[in-house]
Amino acid sequence: MFHFDDDYTYRMPAHFGGVKGGDLHDLQYDDVTSIAISYLTDEEQLAQYVPDAFEIVEPSLNIEYQKCCGIHWMGGGEYTLLALMTPVRHLSSGTVGAYALVVWENKTAPILGGREETGIPKIFADIPDYHLLDGHASAHASHEGRAFLELDLQLDHELSAEDVAARNSAPRINQMGWRHIPNIGRPGAAVSHATLYPVDVTYLSGGTGTATATWTPMDSLQNPMQYHIIAALAGLPVVEYRPGVLAKMVTHLRGDLARELV
């Protein structure tokens, strides 16, 4: 019969075998196209969605679309994500970074690992490839044929070599999440704690411009597991847009540095 070994790390289904030691590595993504859109919002409303183990560093909603290609752990394959982050400080550890409010992804495999192994709250959406024409970039996410978030970026400035170098001088993003696994059949949690999952980003080229994000709420019959998330984010007012960024980059998901935050 199958026997669990305490020196191994397993994923469900665990009984087909695990690996000795830890199983989180530096995951390189060779070819990433990013569309980043950010706006200031109302801090009080935003605070409803950030656990009280954190404090908000700046009340902004940072939306980043990434078409990720050349993914080493996928045999050079690809998936696309849409991450919604806000800048925070983890109080007890003092870690400053980006708290993941939600991350939509269009493949299941990275969703499972992200949730169960690092507490990043990934859920599924259809996210077609971005469009790019005459300096206008757009992307959107949908659930079963109904778009709930549209991103638009009109480029007006190309990043210089100096701009790129400046962005690469501080490549580390301290991505943080909250891993929560419920009890079965009764309230409360089997696991519930803050997590750290750093990402290193190397910009290759890019441009900036005027950006907008447009939310379309869904109802509970259309998107039963996500409509409350979309409603919450759609309800955050846009106080002021920042310049949007379109960039080509290489990313390293530093699974080797992931840990619980206590």
Counting residues that bind its own copies (by CB under 8 A) gives 101
Q: Applying CB under 8 A, does 262 fall inside the site for its own copies?
A: no
Task: Give the C-alpha separation, 151 to 228, whole Å.
Answer: 20
Element (H, E) at 111: helix 108-118
Q: Measured from the CB atom, is 39 or 54 closer to its own copies? A: 54
| CB contact at 8 A, 121 and 100 | yes
Among 21, 161, 162, 170, binds its own copies (CB under 8 A): 21
**Least distance in Å: CB of 205 to its own copies?**
13
Nearest CA-CA partner of 246 in 31, 29, 33: 33
Among 58, 128, 158, 166, binds its own copies (CB under 8 A): 128
Among the residue ranges 49-57, 153-161, 165-173, 203-211, the one whose residues contact its own copies (CB under 8 A) = 49-57
Residue 218 CB coordination number (10 Å): 22
Interface positions, 239-258, toward its own copies (CB under 8 A): 258
Interface positions, 164-223, toward its own copies (CB under 8 A): 178-192, 195, 220-222
Q: Measured from the CB atom, is 15 or 166 closer to its own copies? A: 15
| Phi, psi of 138, rounded to the nearest 5 degrees | -145, 155
Which DSSP symbol is given to 135? T
**Least distance in Å: CB of 222 to its own copies?**
7
**Least distance in Å: CB of 210 to its own copies?**
17
| CB contact at 8 A, 235 and 45 | yes
Nearest CA-CA partner of 58 in 19, 99, 105: 99
Q: Applying CB under 8 A, does 147 fall inside the site for its own copies?
A: yes
